[in-house]
Amino acid sequence: MQVKKAVIPAAGLGTRFLPITKSVPKELLPILDRPMLQYVVEEAAEAGVEEVIVVTARGKESIAAYFQPRPELEKRLTETGATDLLDSIQHASTLADVSFVIQEQPLGLGHAVLTAREAVGDEPFVVILPDDIIDHQPGVISQMLEVSDQYNGGVIAVEQVPWEVIHNYGVVDADDRGNRTHFVRGLVEKPAKEDAPSNLSIVGRYILPPDIFDCLEQTPPGARGEIQLTDGIQLLLEEQDVYAYEFQGTRYDGGTPVGLLRASLEYGLAREDTRESVSALITGLSRKLADY
């Protein structure tokens, strides 16, 4: 599949991050000094995506502002010779052609993807959730595109989770095809451990054909009035092959405060410019642990 477009849903309420998300979009919360959104745009660009469509909401205008130029700031940084900082503020807008569509109400992930229908048009595309941050080179979207090419189908990223917590996740009912790849027979939302068809939980990366839009149009809203992407994919399975792929990489749950803190610490250790100070911070904290 030739995939040139990515949809990044960023119109949710972010309730697990309240009160900060009252005025700051979750997707702009940082891992160290860069917003989560930038990490996923970088992952898309690395995979050859040229156009990123961010689904946003009224009141979340700062998301678009992040990708716009800031002439006075750029002038100031040029004058003071702060070229590294200048590069850092210009970088995000050079990664891809970023555009925005508004989801008028947070009616679920499936509804957010459907909002991008016109912008995507009649071609396969990827969906990346900006609060699932996955660290690996090559990125997960690159890995998934290879699977999609090999099997000529849609692809959902999955990872194994302990059976004890399976009731918190969407999982796939799938048939192992080797090489971390499974043929998907069905999707189950938050099953009880006894009913779970597998412990492969669905993670926020999808490669989908444009036919998903018709499926989402036909998907009835669930209990909270939300249209779920997994329900749409369940319908898609009636006409198209979809594979689940156990990606390589470490996933951080950027949807929760502690998950994001963990990501900051680990990225801080991995990054050369912050390694020493983050390492000293963790060592100091671990000494203090006994006091708590």
Local structure of 187: helix, strand or coil: strand
**Spatial distance between the Cα atoms of 177 and 151, rounded to a whole number of angstroms:** 10
Q: Return d(Cα 118, Cα 120) in angstroms, integer.
A: 5
Structure tokens at 248: 């390589």
Q: Does 230 help bind ligand UTP (rule: CB under 6 A)?
A: no
Among 131, 207, 219, 252, binds ligand UTP (CB under 6 A): 131
Give least dist CB 215 to ligand UTP, A: 17
Q: Can residue 232 be called a binding residue for ligand UTP (CB under 6 A)?
A: no
Q: List the one residue from 85, 107, 119, 161 that touches ligand UTP (CB under 6 A).
A: 107
- Check binding of 255 to ligand UTP (CB under 6 A): yes
Q: Which of 209, 278, 200 is nearest to 242 (CA)?
A: 209
By the 8 A CB rule, do 231 and 244 touch? Answer: no
Q: Does 26 bind ligand UTP (CB under 6 A)?
A: yes
Residue 22 CA: distances (Å) to CA of 34, 56, 238: 20, 15, 40
Q: Which of 6, 100, 103, 219 binds ligand UTP (CB under 6 A)?
A: 103
Determine the residue with CB nearest ligand UTP.
12
Q: What is the Cα–Cα distance from 288 to 285, expressed in whole angstroms?
A: 5
Least separation in angstroms between residue 158's CB and ligand UTP is 16
CA distance 124 to 172: 21
| Contact residue for ligand UTP among 112, 203, 212, 242 (CB under 6 A) | 112
Stretch that binds ligand UTP, among 8-16, 42-50, 84-92, 182-190 (CB under 6 A): 8-16
Single residue of 4, 16, 180, 262 touching ligand UTP by CB under 6 A: 16
- Residues 196/202, Cβ–Cβ less than 8 Å: no
Sites of contact with ligand UTP (CB under 6 A): 9-17, 26-27, 55, 103, 106-109, 111-112, 129-131, 255
